[in-house]
């Protein structure tokens, strides 16, 4: 795992929020979505993802509720709160700006 990208916590948070934008998902679905959309490039432990999810919940950006999964098992579903949506919007904007800046710097060398 040493060669994996060391993720800034804010980036991970943004990804997690983004994962919930289409509606409530349980923890497994969130991790699966992140692995899928990053083509496994983003090597993050599932455990770490859970830690991040719970921190987001503590911050009030997402909320959790027990529900039934697709195959009728009890699962904890996470969904965005209004505050979470606001955070996602503002973080996406600043991330975009940051990424463009980095790309410019890298492009000039």
Partner 1 sequence: MLPDGVRRFFRFGRARDVEREVDAEFAFHLEARTEALIAAGLSADAAHAEALRQFGDMGVAREDVIRTDCGEVANRSRRDWLGAWLLDTRYALRSLARTPGLTAAVLVMLGLGIGGAAAMYGLLDRLLLSVGPGIEAPGELRQLWVREHHRWEHATVFDRSFSVPQLRAIERDLPSGFPLGFVAHWADRLDGRTGPRIPIALVSGNVFEVLGTTPAIGRLLRSSDDTPSSTPATVISYALWHRKYSGDPAVIGQLLQLGKARYTIVGVAPRGFADLHPDRVDAWVPEAIGGDAHVGRGWQDMLHGFEAVVRMPDDAVALEIAARAQNAYRQAIAPRGDSTARAVFASLLPYQRPDGLGERTRLSLVVAAVAAILCIIAVANATNLLLLRATGRRREIAIRMALGSGRVRLVRAVILESLMLALGGALAAGVVASWGGELLRKLIVREDWQSAILDGRVVIFAAILGLVIGLVTGLVPGLAASGPEAIAALRTGSRSDVRPSRLRGGLLVMQATLTVLLLAGLGLYGRSFLRARAMDFGVASQHLINVNVEADRGDSMAQPGRLAAATAELAERMRRLPGVVGVAQTSITPIYGYGGAYLRAEGVDSLPMDQSGPFVSEIDTAFLGVTGLTLMRGRAFVTADIAPLAPVALVNEAMAKALWPGGEALGKCLRVGSRGEPSADVCRQVVGVVSNYRNQLDETAPMKNYYLPLGYRWQAGGNSLVLRTSGAAAPLLPAVLATLRERLPDSEPDAVTAIGEIVNRQIDPWRSGTTLFALFAMLAVLLAAGGLYSSAAYSVAQRAHEFGIRVAVGAAAKDLVRLVLVTSLRPIAIGLLLGLALTLYLVRFLEPLLYATAPRDPVVLSGAALTLLAAACVACIVPARAAARTDPRVALQAD
| Residues contributing to the site for partner 1 (CB under 8 A) | 26-28, 31-32, 45-48, 50-51, 54-55, 57-58, 69, 73-76
Compare residues 45 and 83 and give the one whose CB is closer to partner 1: 45
Q: Are 95 and 14 in contact (CB under 8 A)?
A: yes
Q: How far is the CB of 91 from partner 1 (least distance, A)?
A: 20
Distance CA 109, CA 60 (A): 42
Distance CA 61, CA 20 (A): 11
Q: Are 56 and 14 in contact (CB under 8 A)?
A: no
Q: How far is the CB of 35 from partner 1 (least distance, A)?
A: 9
Distance CA 44, CA 4 (A): 8
Compare residues 48 and 101 and give the one whose CB is closer to partner 1: 48
Compare residues 15 and 26 and give the one whose CB is closer to partner 1: 26
């Amino acid at each position: 795992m040493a060669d994996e990208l060391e993720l800034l916590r804010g980036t991970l948070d943004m990804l997690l929020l983004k994962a919930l934008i289409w509606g409530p998902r349980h923890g497994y679905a969130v991790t699966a979505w992140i692995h899928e959309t990053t083509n496994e490039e983003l090597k993050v432990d599932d455990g770490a993802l859970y830690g991040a999810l719970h921190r987001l919940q503590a911050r009030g950006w997402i909320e959790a509720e027990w529900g039934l999964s697709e195959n009728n098992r009890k699962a904890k579903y996470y969904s965005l709160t209004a505050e979470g949506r606001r955070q996602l919007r503002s973080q996406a904007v600043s991330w975009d700006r940051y990424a463009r800046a980095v790309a410019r710097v890298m492009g000039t060398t």
